[in-house]
């Protein structure tokens, strides 16, 4: 089944403790992206990647890192999480630029 | 630069009534336009997309949207609402030229269907 898989689905952590949210797609898509969803703000792009080793900042990149060492994987790294990063995170992938993404099921992160 | 405005953060309709969710966009280049639906505790599912072919686009679950360049709009409609349509709907835009900038989303419209 074609899908984007994120892990974990739920995560509670403490301020300053480094964490990684994994994302993997099995569709051989070149484009991958991370979004965060907050009430009343819709989805805002954090980072995106157009291919292996090619990444760029989205609208809200501060406090996040990403890497794209393999085509299928696009992990999101929070080196020192803060409470304002409590949010619902989505990973997504696409075969073409701007063609519409397939989304993962989301990761609900709480930073206390 | 591109942006999306969804008019009405909450819309309520009666079962069987017309659904109309409004979306206006701005884009400096020809756009691709999308509607996504999000059911509670789930990810986003693509409803339909406009990619410069027919201006009237039909999607899943009986939804359709019309691209109107002169009005910079891409409103979502469904002739007869069903209880299962209750969800949050997001309009999104990207640059058809394939620029590096990816999807930009509106803030969403929560659709409630009343029995």
Distance of CA B96 to the CA centre of its chain: 17
φ, ψ dihedrals at B60, nearest 5°: -80, 165
C-beta atoms of A35 and B105 within 8 A: yes
At B34, the pLDDT band (50, 70, 90 cuts) reads: very high
Q: What is the pLDDT of residues B77-94, one digit of tens each?
A: 999 999 999 999 999 988
Interface membership of B7 toward A (CB under 8 Å): no
Tell me the mean pLDDT in the region B43-58.
89
Question: Closest residue of B to A40, CA-based?
Answer: B107
Residue B100 has pLDDT above 50, yes or no: no
User: Is the dihedral angle over the CA atoms A37, A39, A42, A46 positive or is it negative?
Assistant: negative
Distances (CA, A) of B94 to A80, B10, B17, B24, B81: 31, 24, 31, 13, 28
Render the burial of B84-115: b for 16+ CB within 10 Å, e for the rest: ebbbbbbbbbbbbeeeebbbbbbbbbebebee
At B101, the pLDDT band (50, 70, 90 cuts) reads: low
Question: Closest residue of A to B1, CA-based?
Answer: A59
pLDDT of residue B27: 78
Average pLDDT taken over every residue of chain A: 93
Residue to substitute from A30, A56, A98, interface B, most B β-carbons within 10 A: A98
Share of chain A above pLDDT 90, in %: 78
Q: What is the pLDDT of residues A19-69, one digit of tens each?
A: 999 999 999 999 999 999 998 888 999 999 988 999 999 889 999 999 999
Question: Closest residue of A to B99, CA-based?
Answer: A97
Tell me the mean pLDDT in the region A7-27.
97
C-beta atoms of B102 and A90 within 8 A: no
C-beta atoms of B102 and A104 within 8 A: no
User: Is the dihedral angle over the CA atoms B109, A94, B74, B14 positive or is it negative?
Assistant: negative
By CB neighbour count within 10 A (0-12 exposed, 13-18 middle, 19+ buried), where does A47 fall?
Answer: buried
Interface membership of B34 toward A (CB under 8 Å): yes
At B96, the pLDDT band (50, 70, 90 cuts) reads: low
C-beta atoms of B90 and A104 within 8 A: no
Share of chain A above pLDDT 70, in %: 97
By CB neighbour count within 10 A (0-12 exposed, 13-18 middle, 19+ buried), where does A71 fall?
Answer: middle
Residue B99 has pLDDT above 80, yes or no: no
The larger pLDDT score, comparing residue B2 to residue A80, is at: A80
The larger pLDDT score, comparing residue B94 to residue B63, is at: B63
CA nearest A93: which of A16, A33, A37, A17? A33
Find the CB nearest B100 among A44, A56, A92: A56
CA distance B50 to chain A (A): 9
Residue to substitute from A5, A7, A40, A42, interface B, most B β-carbons within 10 A: A42
Interface membership of A34 toward B (CB under 8 Å): no
Which of the residue ranges A40-44, B20-24, B55-59 would you say has the lowest mean pLDDT?
A40-44
């Amino acid at each position: 089944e074609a899908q984007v898989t994120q892990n974990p689905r739920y995560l509670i952590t403490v301020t300053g403790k480094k964490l990684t949210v994994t994302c993997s797609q099995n569709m051989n898509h070149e484009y991958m992206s991370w979004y965060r969803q907050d009430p009343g703000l819709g989805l805002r792009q954090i980072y995106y990647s157009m291919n292996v080793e090619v990444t760029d900042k989205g609208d809200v990149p501060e406090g996040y890192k990403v890497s794209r060492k393999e085509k299928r994987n696009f992990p999101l790294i929070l080196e020192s999480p803060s409470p304002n990063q409590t949010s619902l995170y989505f990973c997504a992938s696409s075969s073409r630029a701007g063609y519409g993404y397939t989304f993962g099921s989301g990761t609900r992160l709480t930073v206390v | 630069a591109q942006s999306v405005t969804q008019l009405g953060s909450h819309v309520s309709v009666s079962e069987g009534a017309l659904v109309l969710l409004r979306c206006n966009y701005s884009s400096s280049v020809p756009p691709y336009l999308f509607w996504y639906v999000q059911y509670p505790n789930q990810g986003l599912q693509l409803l339909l997309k406009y990619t410069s072919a027919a201006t009237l686009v039909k999607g899943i679950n009986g939804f359709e949207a019309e691209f109107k360049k002169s009005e910079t709009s891409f409103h979502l409609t469904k002739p007869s609402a069903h209880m299962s349509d209750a969800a949050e709907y997001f309009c999104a835009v990207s640059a058809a030229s394939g620029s590096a900038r990816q999807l930009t989303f509106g803030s969403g419209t929560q659709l409630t269907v009343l029995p």
